[in-house]
Structure formats: C-alpha cells, structure tokens
C-alpha cells in the first residue's frame, strides 16, 4: 500500500505512485513532512523536499507553471532544486533522497 508511510528496512518511505504524481503534479505528505514534485530542470525529474519554510515554518506550495516553491506566509521563493531565490527566508529547502521502485515513489528523510 503506497499510502502506508512506514519506513522500509533501507529507510525509504513510500509516499505515492508515479501515476498519482503525474495526475496531481505534486504529492504532499504531511506526516514526514514531504513535498514531492515533478520538474523538468532537475535530474532525476522527481524530487522531494521538506516543505517547511526555513523562515517561520509555514508549508510552501509548488507552482508547477513557474517551477518554483512559494511560501504563502511572507512570500519566500525557492527554485525547483530547493535553493533560496527570495527571502525573507535565509536558506533553502532541505532535499530528501528519492527513488522509484515498481511505480512507487520512495523518499528518505
Ligand atoms: Fe515562509 Fe515566512 S514562513 S516566508
């Protein structure tokens, strides 16, 4: 079950399927928390981040059309690779390791 977020022996946690990511454009897992995105600029094209804004802890949103993350609280912006573009945050988003096995997306926090 892809929605059961318990870690595997290798520490990777299933967060959803490729089909789900294709359909929704991003997957938010509030438990980890993790925000998984598809993007054309990074390689591999699936990336996962801790979506907690380093400024004051709001959850950033992925804007697929602009390929950037935006924080709804005070407007910090981050690139598709998590790097800080615009404050008030002082640092970027933490990236998680990702891998795909049999259409299941796995992340390691
Ligand atoms: Fe994100 Fe302030 S909490 S910009």
Burial degree of 9 (CB within 10 A; 0-12, 13-18, 19+): exposed
Tally: H helices and E strands in the chain: 1, 10
CA gap 75, 71 in Å, rounded: 5
Ligand 1 pocket test: pick from 53, 60, 72 the residue with the most ligand atoms within 8 Å of its Cβ: 53
The average pLDDT across 2-24 equals 84
Place of tokens 């995105």: 37
- 91: its two tokens: 């640092």
How is residue 22 annotated by DSSP? H
Expressed in angstroms and rounded, the spacing between residue 93 Cα and the centre of ligand 1 is: 12
Q: pLDDT (tens digit, 9 = 90+) per residue, 62-84?
A: 998 899 999 999 999 999 999 99
Residue nearest to atom 3 of ligand 1 (CA): 56
From the alpha carbon of 60, which atom of ligand 1 is closest? 1
All structural domains of the chain, each given as residue ranges with its CATH number in brackets, are 13-108 (2.102.10.10)
Residue nearest to atom 4 of ligand 1 (CA): 74
What's this model's pTM, rounded to 2 decimal places?
0.89
Q: pLDDT (tens digit, 9 = 90+) per residue, 32-59?
A: 999 999 876 555 589 999 999 999 999 9
């Amino acid at each position: 079950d892809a929605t059961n977020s318990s870690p595997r022996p290798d520490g990777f946690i299933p967060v959803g399927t490729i089909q789900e990511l294709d359909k929704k454009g991003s997957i938010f897992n509030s438990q980890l928390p993790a925000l998984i995105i598809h993007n054309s600029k990074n390689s591999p094209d699936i990336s996962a981040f801790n979506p907690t804004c380093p400024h004051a802890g709001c959850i950033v949103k992925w804007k697929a059309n602009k390929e950037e993350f935006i924080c709804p609280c005070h407007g910090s912006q981050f690139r598709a690779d998590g790097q800080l573009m615009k404050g008030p945050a002082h640092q970027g988003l933490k990236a998680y390791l990702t891998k795909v096995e049999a259409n299941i997306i796995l992340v390691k926090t």
